[in-house]
Chain A
Amino acid sequence: MSASMVYFCYLLAVILYFLNHVDANEGVNCFPSEWLESLSMSVTVTKAGFHRDLDYSVHLTPVDHAVQLLIIQKLPSGVYMDHYQLESLRQDLDLEVLLDSEVDVEAPEFLSSEFAALIFLPSSSLSVSIPIHTRIRDQSLCSWLEVQQLQVSGAVGLQVPLGDASMFTCVCVVTLLTTALSCCYLLKLIWRHGTY
């Protein structure tokens, strides 16, 4: 039984940009360490089906200069992001999402690899929603995925329905039979109405 589970190990790296006339040398002193410790972020998976949204929400105490956020999200091979969709997000919402490797949107899960997405939030924005899509997976004997125990550290998972492998023989026989009969029906008609 393949307990394939999609859960995210996410690496939270928040890099802070300074937008107002601050020297690069001084960057390191811009944010006091206690402020950095007060940062927190939550992520949830919303929607249902093969197309989900990752909703990020960052909580930080207000500070006097502008802050821009970058979220680096590592994703497993079972999901992908569509770069055409990301392109339209860039145009509409000024949201820049870069992927660290080429993503083949059509490949099934066993032919894909994990990748990382760099999500640059628009200036002063603290929350964002990124669309992701699940890949085709090989089927298992169970028609539903098992969900691992959700941990407090925030592993996030989602369920995706799979095909039923126990039906393979039945599907094979019925499909081939229907195809063969349809084919014979058409061949008969073509033979009868063709001009030779």
Chain B
Amino acid sequence: MEHRAWVLLAAAALLRFLLMGIGLYHDQNSRLKYTDVDYQVFRDGARNMAQVNPHAQTGAFPLWGKLLFGACDLLCGALLWKLLVLRGSNGLWSGLWLMNPLVLAISTRGSCDALQGVLVLATLLLLQNEAAPQLHRIGTDLMPTKQAKTVSSRTEIRTGSERLRPLEAQTGSSRVFGASVLFGLAVHMRLYPITYSLPIVLSLGLDQNSGNRNVNKRNTSGKGHNQWRSSSALQILNRFFSKDMLIFAVGSASVFLSLGLIFYYMYGEQFLNQWLLYHLSRKDIRHNFSPFFYLLYLSSDPGVEKGVMSSALGLTLLLPQLLLLIAASFAFRSDLPFCCYVHTHILVSFNKICTSQYFVWYVCFLPLVCARLSLSLTRAFVLLFLWFLGQALWLLPAYLLEFESVNSFFFIWTASLFFLIINCIILGQIITHYTPLQNTFTAGKWLRHKTD
């Protein structure tokens, strides 16, 4: 990695050490703790695990754990740099993560979301092919134009009539397998990345589809429809499922299941409940950013009639998320990091429960998205301001409710709806002004469709 990257990483590391030091001092000398309560939960979990497995060392966990999360944080930054360069963007955009005050606060308080970010970004890195120079001549305000360094002999692109390269050389199957293992780990840690599986699988099938389509055209031109009659079911299957899709699906599923089985064997029923079933039967209806909070709270009466309605309601509320996620998967499957960002933003905004911890899940994709965004600086700041405003408008009545016994439920509800609208506006603006990077090698077809 170039030395600018090391300088940025060093500065980020220094900042984190500083904040951790201040946090430690503060924890020892003040009743109001800097360290997040979730970190104590983590530490307790580690202690419990140590009782079952005596080889696990948890003595120095308080500092050791925070250092681990801080290191993961920096690793995220490094992965972002590599991904940015691979996609032909300027690596300095990773500063949006490394120097982000929100990220700094959350990681030095002891949150494990950085580890999650590492796994997801590493998966994306393995699945990302190098961007070729032609793909940059779309020309946006914020995009660099000189990318000579990223050209490698592997990604020659010819416009016009394409000579297609065999699939194996493009997305190495070993890389796909590596990505599937990391992905399985990521989903095991937190369930939400499972939504990325659809666009990933679609993108792995992308190359094969276009490849096969063209190959079939060439082959059938002389033979007419005899070709179709003689295709067996296997060949038809081959049109829609590529080897890489299978590797990815099987790889990630086996990692996920085997980890689940191992932990179930070690810790039993309790593990299953808290890891998986918890998401299905969650009855937490305390106030949160979700637009559905008040609706679910009012419908949570243990009385019978409403009880039935609340489970129907619960299913109805899943519909917007589902529709949007499926649409986004198909629409943006050729640009995985962007697709993952859209997925996560949708998931968090339309979820039944939304806390500020969830925002970090999509902030880790921000550098990758911003590098190809053609928003003016003013507009970007307006959107950022709106995002903070939406939270502030919610936080005020929530504070009054929780700490001053003011009945501000109505204001919390309206603020949460307003926040949903703001999130949709922001997402809409980003989708409108983003230039997708096509991760396929059939540049001719896709570029002609997309260039504007």
Give the interface of A toward B (CB within 8 A). 47-51, 82, 84-85, 87-88, 92, 106-108, 110-111, 136, 138-139, 143-144, 159-165, 167-168, 171-172, 174-176, 178-180, 182-183, 185-187, 189-191, 193-196
Contact = CB atoms under 8 A, between A and B. Distances in A.
Given A48-B404, A164-B409, A187-B327, 8 more contacts: A49-B404, A50-B401, A51-B403, A172-B313, A175-B292, A190-B328, A190-B332, A194-B327
Interface in B365-414: 401-410, 413
Contacts, number: 145
Interface in B394-452: 401-410, 413, 417, 420-421, 424, 427-428, 431-432, 434, 436, 438, 446, 449-450
Nearest to B302: A110
Interface string B269-296: 0000000000000011110000110110
Contacts of B292: 175, 179
B320 A183 contact: yes
Contact of A189 (B300, B401, B432): B432
A186 to B, nearest CB: 6
Contacts of A47: 403
A195 B446 contact: yes
A165 B324 contact: no
A88 B316 CA distance: 42
A85 B421 CA distance: 36
B18 interface: no
Specify the main secondary structure of chain B where it touches its partner. Answer: helix
Contacts of A180: 320
Nearest to B403: A49
Interface stretch (B33-41, B185-193, B253-261): B33-41
Interface residues of B, number: 60
A186 B295 contact: no
A196 B210 CA distance: 12
Contact of B284 (A106, A110, A138, A139): A106
Nearest to B44: A84
Given A175-B292, A191-B327, A138 B428 contact: no
B90 interface: no
24 contacts: A49-B404, A87-B40, A108-B283, A108-B300, A110-B302, A111-B283, A136-B285, A136-B286, A138-B300, A161-B406, A162-B407, A163-B409, A164-B298, A171-B295, A171-B298, A176-B295, A179-B292, A182-B424, A185-B424, A187-B324, A189-B432, A193-B432, A195-B332, A195-B450
